[in-house]
Chains A and B, each alone.
Chain A
């Protein structure tokens, strides 16, 4: 996989995400723009009041996929630093579940990269949320990641 800049951040965390600190982290004198995406817990789902959410992940693969997205961002856009952090475990209404920050010399690349990052994350990173309601819990509807149709084995068993 492509090498990522050492000052990029890709993390799964179980504590509240410090969005201000992450935005500062990607900021550098040679940049002119930072675009951030702050995804947080909504108080309802399909008009049903949500109590809280519980996120789980295939952690090792999720991190690998987050880093893969980062590598794609650096390849596709003229950006500087990337930060992608997703929280796991129980999250209350209004708490940040995912935060993405991208810095760039110019705004267009930062906007495009940030959008690409969250859209890719929602489609390809193995994370699941369970929604808790007054009368029970359900696994949220999700997106089916694109999978190869036929074999070629790239990676040997490790």
Chain B
């Protein structure tokens, strides 16, 4: 399981902490729309990863928090920076990822 690092990493970890600061933290903005927003209980979130992660892993992280999300996975399309994106897309810091249920405009 992928573990996100806390949003605001505490600087009070201790001056004698043996763990060096992670320099490669990836911070992404996450958006939920339609019924996914209802299930996730939020429209927007920010999350940080200490290690490389894909959009698929990002979704899995939320599905672990909100198990009902998992059942929507087959009918979800992801976007990255406003373009439809493959699930194996690696995240980069500053990305805006959105999880989109089937669209019903018109």
Contacts and interface: CB of A to CB of B under 8 A. Distances in A.
A146 B84 CA distance: 8
B3 interface: no
Nearest to B94: A157
B86 A149 contact: yes
A1 B95 CA distance: 20
A130 B90 CA distance: 32
Contacts of B101: 128, 139, 142
B60 to A, nearest CB: 17
Contacts, number: 113
Interface of B: 31, 33-35, 75, 77-86, 88-90, 92-96, 98, 100-106
Contacts of A86: 105-106
Contacts of A129: 104-105
A36 interface: no
Interface residues of A, number: 42
B104 A140 contact: yes
B92 to A, nearest CB: 5
A39 interface: yes
A157 B93 contact: yes
B86 A58 contact: no
Contacts of A130: 34
B104 A139 contact: yes
B106 A98 contact: yes
A143 B84 contact: no
Contacts of A145: 77, 84, 100, 102-103
A64 interface: yes
A157 B81 contact: yes
